[in-house]
Amino acid sequence: MIRSTAKAIFDRAGGLKCIRWLNRRRLRILMYHRFADRAALARQCEHIRAWYQPVAMHAAADWLEGRAALPPYAVAVTVDDGYRDFLEAGHPIFAEYGIPVTVYLVTDFLDGKSWLWFDRVVQAFLVARVGEAAVEMPGGKALTFTLDSEAARRAAGQRVADLAVSWSAAERSALVERLPRLLRAELPARAPAEFQPLAWDDVRRLAERGVEFGAHTRSHPILSAVADPAELRGEIAGSKARIECELQKPVLHFCYPNGKMPDIGPVVMEAVRAAGMRTAVTAEPGLNTARQDAFLLRRIGTDPGHEQMYFARGLAGLRG
């Protein structure tokens, strides 16, 4: 409570405005995923329009390459993965406020070949037919969950998915394979409504309305764990080519799955450059200067459900 009060006093005294001004020459890149709350997103867009200058990722690329300047208080909006709720709830609000958006697509997800592993984990818990489950972690420790309500099942699934982000690819794959048996859960071959992707027809219509699309791999692996050079090229250049085939226009922006530095590395960065991208975004927090490596761009993670002052402080350049 003391910390929250101190933050409120700092903001009311003009501290937030000062931080915003000090960072006016830096590029902010927002990172969204899902859009469950349209009203909350509208409030965030109102804040963006009141204090910042929205720009597209191609404008950010021109700036990083020294081709053009950005306006002060520049902010770019990006969306990861390619869920259908961007079409239904996200894009209408961004369009209403005239805010350009870049959406990074996982192409196997859109092609119906697979749905995202973390959604499979959450769904397995949601449809579990057991009242309690012990999930073994790497190293032999097990976490026990009581699954006596939908809220408890969803929280358990999200907890396990969050923990598994830092596991090896083999450990995550084993988890996704064993969870349905452990939980006596039946998972469909295609994603259920909550986790459905955009259709390619949706992508084409959104592109006609000005949405920019980038590549986010074929299957959302941790790229630093992909040892086979041909597989790595397929994930990066293959996803780019798949989107270009559908849109008949170049795809020049990339998003690293998970996006932390251990998930990337120089071999992955070189593969992204070799694929012909102009920029690549991470999930590392922070703002970007004109000297920032265009293939290691920092972003500000956000969600429409975030408290408004938290959103405002993060966008200004404050952490915590």
Instruction: Supply the pLDDT for residue 5.
Output: 57
CA triple 55-236-297, angle to 5 deg: 35
Torsion of CA 24, 29, 34, 40, to 10 degrees: 10
Instruction: Supply the pLDDT for residue 259.
Output: 94
| Residue count (the chain) | 320
CB atoms within 10 A of CB 23: 18
CB atoms within 10 A of CB 67: 9
Which tokens belong to 275? 């694929």
* Per-residue pLDDT reduced to its tens digit, 181-224: 999 999 998 899 999 999 999 999 999 999 999 999 999 999 99
* Per-residue pLDDT reduced to its tens digit, 252-304: 999 999 999 999 999 999 999 999 999 999 999 999 999 999 999 999 999 99
CA triple 34-115-163, angle to 5 deg: 70
Cα–Cα distance for residue pair 121/220, rounded to 1 Å: 15
Instruction: Supply the pLDDT for residue 144.
Output: 96
Which tokens belong to 71? 């306006």
CA nearest to 235, candidates 213, 250, 220: 220
Cα–Cα distance for residue pair 78/176, rounded to 1 Å: 28
Sign of the C-alpha dihedral computed for residues 106, 107, 108 and 110 taken in this order: positive
Instruction: Supply the pLDDT for residue 123.
Output: 97
On the question of pLDDT at 11 being above 80, the answer is no
Instruction: Supply the pLDDT for residue 314.
Output: 94
**Mean pLDDT score of the chain, rounded to an integer?**
94
pLDDT level of residue 95 (50, 70, 90 thresholds): very high
pTM of the predicted protein model: 0.92
pLDDT level of residue 15 (50, 70, 90 thresholds): confident
pLDDT level of residue 140 (50, 70, 90 thresholds): confident
pLDDT level of residue 90 (50, 70, 90 thresholds): very high
Is 121 exposed, middle or buried (CB count within 10 Å of its CB: 0-12, 13-18, 19+)?
Answer: buried
- Which position has the higher pLDDT, 288 or 227? 288
Instruction: Supply the pLDDT for residue 167.
Output: 84
pLDDT level of residue 106 (50, 70, 90 thresholds): very high
* Per-residue pLDDT reduced to its tens digit, 159-184: 999 999 888 878 888 999 999 999 99
For 92-118, what is the mean pLDDT?
96
* Per-residue pLDDT reduced to its tens digit, 300-319: 999 999 999 999 999 999 87
On the question of pLDDT at 8 being above 70, the answer is no
Instruction: Supply the pLDDT for residue 189.
Output: 86
